[in-house]
Amino acid sequence: MLKQPGVLKALLDERLPMDGLEGILTETAQLRDPNFADMETGTLPEDLFVEVSGSGDLVVLLFVLIEHKSYPERWVSWQLLKYIVGALTEYRMHHPDDALPRVRTMVLYHGEDPWNVPREFNALYQGGASRSTVADLNFRYELVSCWDIADAELSKHRLLRAGLLVPKYAWQPEKLLAVTPDALLACDGNEELVKQFLLCIAQRLRDRNQFDRLENIVHRTIPQEVPVFYSIVDQFRDEAKLEGKLQGKASSLERLLRRRFRRVPKATVERIYSSDEASIDVWFDRAIDAPTLKDVMAGP
């Protein structure tokens, strides 16, 4: 979605404070593929990495960390710091004689619980931010909490607003279906965008009735895309009908793991949702008191 004309610019114009960034040209913003690995996991970042140019030699690197969890993540600042170090290291490799670019960080949060953790890195130190001094490394990330913003004020850009509404209500299927017509119409006939939205929405529906309502919405709002709906959504509707109990257990296990261990790798989530009921039952029992995520997912 952010690759569509004007969407990334709208996000920066509306949500990124411009203090100290006079001269930045948000229309130059472009998504980049990070070429640096996470120093702990060795994997490439899955979050958004944006490069923006400005007048003269001004360059700004922006990381947009998208948090879909239903709870705030304490260690977000640590994750962002690793991204900052990786990006600046890569920049120096290609521009060894240049001054470093500015780096800004943003968290897009779609969870239901209030974001009640500090936004400054120095809060992670022993003693917290209150005992930190100017000599300590510190930075502050910008927080965009969708639950704290009225739907109509999420964005003036129609497609960006739709792109924030869908994950905002991902945890509430009834409200998700209520905003679906606007989201689909915002695609303005772009079949690829329609596919992306339908995929995100279908993954959150849990029973046959909800899929039938989604089908009716597609017929009413974008009848020309009905074949796209059937090609993508039928598999989810069949799973909801035949494996609703299994999906419910998988969802409960995922939520428990996130409550206990905070960050759950994407590969682990995929493993849970593709496993049989017996395996999920074993993992759920372990998740109650196992000391680490690795201990939970061993075996079973």
Residue 71 lies in a domain: yes
Q: Residue 161: its pLDDT value, please?
A: 95
Residue 37: domain span: 7-151
In terms of domains, do 26 and 147 share one?
yes
- 123-157 pLDDT, tens digit each: 999 988 888 888 899 999 999 999 899 999 999 99
Are 144 and 237 in a shared domain?
A: no
Task: Please tell me the predicted confidence (pLDDT) of residue 243.
Answer: 54
pLDDT value, residue 213:
92
- Judge if 20 and 59 occupy the same domain: yes
pTM: 0.72
In a domain, 157, yes or no: no
Question: Of the candidates 42, 39, 79, 40, which has an alpha carbon nearest to the alpha carbon of residue 63?
Answer: 79
Lowest-confidence pick of 46-50, 126-130, 148-152, 234-238 = 234-238
> Based on the domain organization, do 68 and 140 belong to the same domain?
yes
Q: Is residue 2 part of a domain?
A: no
69 is a domain residue = yes
Which stretch, 36-45, 186-195, 240-249, has highest mean pLDDT?
186-195
Residues 31 and 120 in one domain: yes
pLDDT confidence of 164, banded at 50, 70, 90? very high
* Among candidate residues 151, 182, 215, the one where a domain is terminated: 151
Q: Quote the percentage of the chain above a pLDDT of 70.
A: 90
pLDDT at 263 over 70: yes
- The verdict on 219 and 267 lying in the same domain is no
Least confidently predicted of 61-75, 159-173, 190-204: 61-75
164 in any annotated domain: no
* 223 and 209 share one domain: yes
Measured distance CA(247)–CA(108) in Å, rounded: 27
Q: How confident is the model at residue 19 (pLDDT cuts 50, 70, 90)?
A: confident
Decide if 137 is inside a domain.
yes
Whether residues 283 and 175 share a domain: the answer is no
The mean per-residue pLDDT over the stretch 155-166 comes to: 94
Report the pLDDT value the prediction gives residue 270, as an integer from 0 to 100.
Answer: 83
Number of domains comprising the chain: 3
Residue 47 lies in a domain: yes
Whether 111 and 179 map to the same domain: the answer is no
- What is the reported pLDDT for 174? 92
C-beta of residue 26 within 8 angstroms of C-beta of residue 13? yes
Is residue 100 domain-shared with residue 121, that is, in the same domain? yes
Amino acid at the residue 248 = G
Q: Look up residue 116 and give its amino acid.
A: N
Residue 162's pLDDT is 94
pLDDT at 246: 75
At 300 the pLDDT is 58
Compute CA distances 96 → 86, 88, 92, 99, 100, whole Å: 15, 11, 5, 8, 9
Same-domain check for residues 186 and 140? no
Residue 229 binned pLDDT confidence (cut-offs 50, 70, 90): confident
Taking the CA atoms of residue 85, residue 144, residue 177 and residue 191 in that order, the dihedral angle to the nearest 10 degrees is: -50
Tell me, yes or no, whether 147 and 214 share the same domain.
Answer: no
pLDDT at 68 over 60: no
Q: Could you say which of 196, 217, 242 is where a domain stops?
A: 242
Of the residues 242, 261, 282, the one at which a domain ends: 242
Which range has the worst mean pLDDT, 41-50, 185-194, 246-255, 284-293? Answer: 41-50
Q: Does residue 184 sit within a domain? A: yes
